[in-house]
Amino acid sequence: MSSVTEGPRTPAEWSNPSAAIWPGARGLSWPEAAPFGPGLDRPLPEAASPGEDLVLCFHGFPSTPLCYRLVEEAAKGRGFELAAPLMPGCGTVPGDILGFTYQDWIGFGKSLWRRLRPRWKRAWLVGTSVGGSVALEIAAAYADDDALAPSGIATIGSPVVLNALLRRGMMKSALLYFAGALSPFVPSTGAALPDPAREGEDGDERWRGYLGTYSGFSHSLQKGLRSLERRLPAIRAPVLALHEACDRMIDPRNARIIADEAGGGGEARYLDMGDAGHMRHDLLLYDSTRDLAWSAIMDHFDALREAGAGPRGRMN
């Protein structure tokens, strides 16, 4: 399946927030997880009258933008408009993700960024989990383009390293080394939609996404992150890397790698959820950490905005 292509959308599509935005999409499994924001479910500002501040938010794999709906009003209260797309292959049924790779997600993110960024005086990137990796990819790709460089970045539980035992002492799963060979024969294991009536903890029961593991995407992610890790110094916008101290999904040391190696400077900030029994991964999903995590991101962006963030994240 090919990467997303852009084109004009009809008024009917603008009025339907669950309209397909990636090729071959079926109807959404969760209407509340539809994409939202300027350029997604409503028109962009006119080119001659750009908006002030846009935050483009990318969700994780294989999740949906639901977590960003939970902070949309808080962002508006701080003067930031949010846009949160549905990433290719997500939000419908698990079989739809099998045709996509991490590289498709990068292509989708770059394409959307190129369309949205020129319509705003300042634009910011936020990503949860693999969505944060995509945000870093965009920041690295356009670091030297004043028209497309982001004003600032925040990541939440995002990886730049999965398996790097000798180089970093980190090992997510040995199966990642064999995922590419396995994908034609075992494209997924445990693929399913979550039980809508399940009981949860701390708000994690509201998560909407696919269960299971997906060999092809995992293989492409392992390869792609090695390239991203090498290009972190190219990033010029300041980065805030948030992570839960005992994240069960992504090694928390990733936040320190991002903060230390991003070329625009960065800060790693860890939250400790005590004895929480869930994945401790998506800090915007959980009732106990949402406000703290989002306030940290807004404070980071506010400080840059008030200091006068110039091209490529530099201070004027």
pTM over 0.85: yes
Helix (H) or strand (E) holding 188: strand 188-192
Strands 170-171 and 163-164: antiparallel
Q: What is the pLDDT of residues 277-301, one digit of tens each?
A: 999 999 999 999 999 999 999 999 9
Q: What is the pLDDT of residue 21?
A: 60
Q: Flag whether pLDDT at 204 surpasses 50.
A: yes
Distant-in-sequence, close-in-space partners of 145: CB < 8 Å, separation ≥ 6: none
Task: List the domains of the chain with CATH numbers.
Answer: 11-313 (3.40.50.1820)
Q: What is the pLDDT of residues 121-151, one digit of tens each?
A: 999 999 999 999 999 999 999 999 999 999 9
Radius of gyration for the alpha carbons in the chain, expressed in angstroms and rounded: 18
DSSP class of residue 46? P
Which amino acid does the sequence have at 274? G
Integer angstrom CA distances of residue 302 from 53, 70, 116: 10, 20, 20
Q: Flag whether pLDDT at 73 surpasses 50.
A: yes
Q: Flag whether pLDDT at 48 surpasses 80.
A: yes
The alpha helices in the chain, defined as continuous H runs, are 11-14, 66-69, 72-77, 102-116, 130-141, 165-168, 179-182, 215-231, 253-261, 290-307
Distant-in-sequence, close-in-space partners of 314: CB < 8 Å, separation ≥ 6: 236
3-state secondary structure of 236: coil
Q: Flag whether pLDDT at 100 surpasses 50.
A: yes
User: What is d(CA 134, CA 129) in angstroms, rounded to the nearest whole number?
Assistant: 9
Q: What is the pLDDT of residue 91?
A: 94
Q: What is the pLDDT of residue 310?
A: 52
User: What is d(CA 239, CA 256) in angstroms, rounded to the nearest whole number?
Assistant: 11
In this predicted structure, which of 3-12, 62-71, 88-97 has the lowest mean pLDDT? 3-12
Integer angstrom CA distances of residue 18 from 30, 40, 124, 193: 9, 9, 24, 18
Q: Flag whether pLDDT at 69 surpasses 90.
A: yes
Helical axes 130-141 vs 215-231, angle rounded to 10°:
40
Q: Flag whether pLDDT at 312 surpasses 90.
A: no
- Which position has the token pair 């996509």? 100
Q: What is the pLDDT of residues 236-265, one digit of tens each?
A: 999 999 999 999 999 999 999 999 999 999
Mean pLDDT score across all residues of the chain: 90
Q: Flag whether pLDDT at 276 surpasses 80.
A: yes
Q: Which of 267, 269, 208, 264 is nearest to 243 (CA)?
A: 269
- The answer to whether the peptide bond before residue 31 is cis (omega within 30 degrees of 0) is no
